[in-house]
Amino acid sequence: MLPGSIQISGETLSGAEIRDICESLRENSVRLLSLRGCQLSERDFGHVCRGAAESRSLAQLNLNLGIVSNINRVKQLAEALKTNRSIQSLFLHGSPLTDAGLALLNPALSIHPSLVALDLGDCMLGDEGINLICGLLPPDGAKSGLKELTLSANPGVTSKGWGRLAIAVAHSSQLRVLNLDYNPLGDQVAGMLAVAVASSRTLEVLDLEGTGLTNQSAQTLLDMVENYPTALRTLILAENNISPELQQQISDLLSEGEEEEETEAREVTTREKNPWICQNNSSSQMVLMTSGLGDSLLAETEM
């Protein structure tokens, strides 16, 4: 029997329900556990953490909307992550972690062997928290790192913190998806991110919705997309003071890049099937192929 999912939203969970959940975790019959916005006692939260620690099948853990509500729960979750080896995606959106809570959680996050997707949106983070997150974006591929990162709605981060993140993104060897929507970034930070995107070999999706950008940012991003090879395929600029014309120009350029990559992929397939086809290598160019979002680990997108 393949592992299934337990998805509960906004409910007050009884002790009996928690026991059933924990039993399923220990029996390795759960791949996705989502307790989004649920109410459970301190004791029951501890039981869930111990069940997650023991599970070998759990791949996605959603504790969005305030479940990790205090330092004691952060500590229990950290202990679970130190033992667990299977979780690939961790959702903590809307948890009042603050930098202090993330500092307690970070050692477990940094050594986890499978974690590739992390949602810390609306977690009351500041610059110190961003510095910790940068450590989860290793530059050389020597160790596993995040492929998908959500930092939406953390207005306590300053331009200095976002600049530090931009540098980490530029050198990250694995990051594919970065969601920074609803942060007051402004044009200065957008310029830093444009440089990061131009430098990154892997970033495919950048969400800048509602981040206080203007046409100045859009023009910088347009120049980046037009003049530099990039893996970027999706750039979200909604709810900014940017003209529809500039947004359309950027979208068209990204679409053209995707079409060119698909054409190159077909040509590579043809050459593999027909190895006798001659190639003129004098003008050949190395093209880094990146996967799309169809296999995204962030299967649950609602916050």
Domain at 125-263: CATH code: 3.80.10.10
What's this model's pTM, rounded to 2 decimal places?
Answer: 0.85
Residue 284 is predicted with a pLDDT of 31
Domain spans of the chain, in order of start:
1-118, 125-263
Residue 126 is predicted with a pLDDT of 98
Edge-first strand listing for the sheet containing 4-7: 4-7, 30-34, 60-62, 89-91, 117-119, 148-150, 177-179, 205-207, 234-236
Fold match between domain 1-118 and domain 125-263: yes
* Tens digit of pLDDT at every position of the chain (303 positions): 567 999 999 999 999 999 999 999 999 999 999 999 999 999 999 999 999 999 999 999 999 999 999 999 999 999 999 999 999 999 999 999 999 999 999 999 999 999 999 999 999 999 999 999 999 999 877 677 899 999 999 999 999 999 999 999 999 989 999 999 999 999 999 999 999 999 999 999 999 999 999 999 999 999 999 998 999 999 999 999 999 999 999 999 998 866 555 555 455 444 444 443 333 343 333 222 223 333 344 444 344
Q: What is the DSSP letter of 97?
A: -
Query: Regarding the domain delimited by 1-118, which CATH topology (the fold level of the hierarchy) does it fall under?
Result: 3.80.10
Residue 137 is predicted with a pLDDT of 95
Cβ pair 231, 260 in contact under 8 A: no
Residue with tokens 């928690």: 18
